[in-house]
Chains A and B, each alone.
Chain A
């Protein structure tokens, strides 16, 4: 596995209202948030964490137009060049009859493509064991993992998280890579923004 073992300082929060300022303060202090694990989707958390907008929909659009072109080129090749058939006296290039199939392949390509891309972006694959920072992240705790480098003083980070309102704080070593390398979530540096 690419990526290697890294050290993380992990803090768990039991309230969204505490979590948001904590995220803000941690970023302000210059620490790098590896990720925040929440039991349910939290609106605005991605924005607060400074994660850039996902490009999953751009990928979806590209898959979709691939599907459209595949369907149209294949059908026009089959029905005009390879094996022209007279169906109900319609022209060989019977565009209206192909639209439903073109539509279906467009949807199929974009749906399947986006699911696979999503799995890749989230490091999800069959037989890949993921490190859980806290078992209660799927139940009732918001778990923030801060990535440490050689220079990070983890005692200081732990104290910082404690003061930010974390219920439990500990240090964990975890595998970060996976089968085709790690997808690095880009983060914007902290700056004051309205609304958050």
Chain B
């Protein structure tokens, strides 16, 4: 059987279309929002908006594609067999990490070395010197550490991900593995996967959300924040994998992927939506309960107080409906997790929902009430989606869609939930 995928013309058309829209949005933003002006306390709020939108989109989409590699590594360490039938799809998505990584790094460096104190308040040396709290965080929140750690992080995601992908691709060329070679190969995978997971813990599950996103509200902190970000991007990553699997299945590819595999992908989307809600709620309730002004400030900026509604109230609760209520009620039934159309709709909804989640994480601390979701915001998202489609499509059409010599392939073929 042929497991080679030819990218159809419609796929390419959509990819280049989205990228074109994205580039147009960037040019539009560059002309309209004067991104080089220095935004400060209400002046040139549009230039702040320009950088905040770029930060939101690049951080979100980079973490989403990176989640695909995390999924591979975790399942490798758990010796999971069922994922092998569509493993190449997750690999393809993770191959976008270097593309988005470079883009994100450029944006972050432009913000940090462009002295965008409107995005990261801790860049303001004078403010830091006179501020007890910011002064205390100086050792962590400073341009040098920020740039070096961001660079190292993106490099390690790319390097370890590349290693995992090349191990998988190498197995295609080497022919059928006997028991001993297979064992050695699986062990080799496990070692690299565990290294990746260690790096993942030190970056996505802790420092990176603190640096890139939580430091926007530099006075505030939450111990839930990184897990929350992880849950958000992981569930979106699983949805993205499901979308590509369904797309390829509709194109007559991935012969060994059945309802059973989709059912398990649906379970991931369902379970991690609930996990996200658990963290969302834990973060909210602890702050609500202890009721300390420096902590509640974060939510006052978003939902407001009992007497005055905040500017993000609608988005804040929309977030909860999209990312909790909808997945909970719709994906609960076995039948809906096996319904290809419904899973597609839910995957799109979940990715959009978490994009909105990142929006309300970044915007209140940067542009305050002057936010908007217009051509620039949507266009920038299109750019990143287009890039993801471009990178993923390249990988999918270049390599066999089936890791045909993977020792667990048979287990995946007969997978039964």
Interface residues of A, Cβ cutoff 8 Å to B: 43-44, 57, 61, 88-90, 96-97, 99-100
Q: How far is the CA of A99 from the CA of B281 in the complex (A)?
A: 9
Partner-binding segment picked from B21-29, B68-76, B283-291: B283-291
A97-B334 in contact given A43-B416, A44-B416, A88-B291 (Cβ < 8 Å): no
18 of the cross-chain contacts (CB-CB < 8 Å) are A43-B416, A44-B416, A57-B334, A61-B332, A88-B289, A88-B291, A89-B291, A90-B291, A96-B281, A96-B284, A96-B285, A96-B288, A96-B289, A97-B285, A97-B289, A99-B281, A99-B285, A100-B285
Q: How far is the CA of A97 from the CA of B285 in the complex (A)?
A: 7
CB contacts (< 8 Å) of A44 on chain B: these are: 416
* Least Cβ–Cβ distance between B384 and chain A, in angstroms: 34
Q: Mark B269-288, 1 if CB is under 8 A from A, else 0.
A: 00000000000010011001
Seed contacts A44-B416, A57-B334, A96-B281; 15 additional CB < 8 Å A-B pairs = A43-B416, A61-B332, A88-B289, A88-B291, A89-B291, A90-B291, A96-B284, A96-B285, A96-B288, A96-B289, A97-B285, A97-B289, A99-B281, A99-B285, A100-B285
* Least Cβ–Cβ distance between B297 and chain A, in angstroms: 17
CB contacts (< 8 Å) of A100 on chain B: these are: 285
Interface size range on B against A = under 10
Closest to A195 in B: B258
* Inter-chain residue pair count (beta carbon < 8 A): 18
* Least Cβ–Cβ distance between B391 and chain A, in angstroms: 36
| Residue among A44, A96, A100 facing the most chain B CB atoms (10 A cut-off) | A96
Closest to B258 in A: A195
Q: How far is the CA of A41 from the CA of B289 in the complex (A)?
A: 47
Q: How far is the CA of A99 from the CA of B285 in the complex (A)?
A: 9
CB contacts (< 8 Å) of A97 on chain B: these are: 285, 289
* Least Cβ–Cβ distance between B119 and chain A, in angstroms: 31
Closest to B288 in A: A96
What 5 pairs between A and B have smallest CB-CB spacing?
A: A96-B285, A43-B416, A96-B288, A99-B281, A44-B416
Closest to A61 in B: B332
* Least Cβ–Cβ distance between A175 and chain B, in angstroms: 34
CB contacts (< 8 Å) of B289 on chain A: these are: 88, 96-97
Closest to B333 in A: A57
* Least Cβ–Cβ distance between B188 and chain A, in angstroms: 31
CB contacts (< 8 Å) of B288 on chain A: these are: 96
Closest to B335 in A: A53
CB contacts (< 8 Å) of B281 on chain A: these are: 96, 99
Q: How far is the CA of A64 from the CA of B334 in the complex (A)?
A: 17
Complex interface residues of chain B between 341 and 391 (CB less than 8 A to chain A): none
Closest to B286 in A: A96
* Least Cβ–Cβ distance between B313 and chain A, in angstroms: 16
Closest to B284 in A: A96
* Least Cβ–Cβ distance between A20 and chain B, in angstroms: 14
Q: How far is the CA of A61 from the CA of B334 in the complex (A)?
A: 12
* Least Cβ–Cβ distance between A99 and chain B, in angstroms: 6
CB contacts (< 8 Å) of B332 on chain A: these are: 61
Closest to A44 in B: B416
* Least Cβ–Cβ distance between B110 and chain A, in angstroms: 39
Q: How far is the CA of A169 from the CA of B33 in the complex (A)?
A: 85
Closest to A58 in B: B333
CB contacts (< 8 Å) of B291 on chain A: these are: 88-90
Q: How far is the CA of A43 from the CA of B291 in the complex (A)?
A: 52
Q: Mark B284-319, 1 if CB is under 8 A from A, else 0.
A: 110011010000000000000000000000000000
